[in-house]
Amino acid sequence: AYKRFSELLPKEERESACTARVPKSHLLTLPELRANPFQHRICHVFSTSETGDGSMSFEDFLDMLSVFSDSATSDIKSHYAFRIFDFDDDGTLDRKDLEQLVNCLTGQGEDSQLSSTEMEQLIQNILEESDIDRDGTINLSEFQHVVSRSPDFARCGGLQR
């Protein structure tokens, strides 16, 4: 992990990799993130940068790797998946978050974009399946409840395509 992290740094900063921060643009060159539709959200969620630039310290990088590792529990994976899917960082998945989530998964090209009717129906179906307290949003415990019924989630990490 340390070797991969330090290789993302400019050569002159590699000596001090323990205290350096890798810019988001360098993180996005990682094969695991390059094709991930949630790459920007992943950097946002795992970064402890005070400027909000998505850069990562070595500790941030380790946190990200541990969540995506096979040994991470389903609870940990689902907690971070929820945070990644919560685009407005308000602690719930509302209709706007679900629409952004669907757009990330289907691509936003004209061929793959859902019509507004299809999008509305899909979001309605997601809420009917997941919104246990019927408040129009999905909170973390509701999300984890749905995920617990999906054996594929823990196996694939929930965030890979």
| CATH number for position 4 | 1.10.238.10
The count of residues in the chain is 161
Using the predicted structure, report yes or no on whether residue 160 has a pLDDT greater than 50: no
Last residue of a domain, one of 68, 93, 122: 68
Task: Give me the number of domains the chain comprises.
Answer: 2
- The reported pLDDT for the residue numbered 161 is 38
User: What residue type is assigned to position 73 of the chain?
Assistant: T
Residues 128 and 61 in one domain: no
Burial-class residue 160 by CB neighbours within 10 Å (0-12, 13-18, 19+): exposed
Give this prediction's pTM. 0.89
Interval 109-138: pLDDT, tens:
667 788 999 999 999 999 999 999 999 999
Last residue of a domain, one of 68, 83, 116: 68
Using the predicted structure, report yes or no on whether residue 15 has a pLDDT greater than 80: yes
Residues 5 and 32 in one domain: yes
Using the predicted structure, report yes or no on whether residue 156 has a pLDDT greater than 50: yes
Write out the H or E segment, with its range, that includes residue 96.
Answer: helix 95-106
Q: Which residue range(s) make up the domain with 32?
A: 1-68
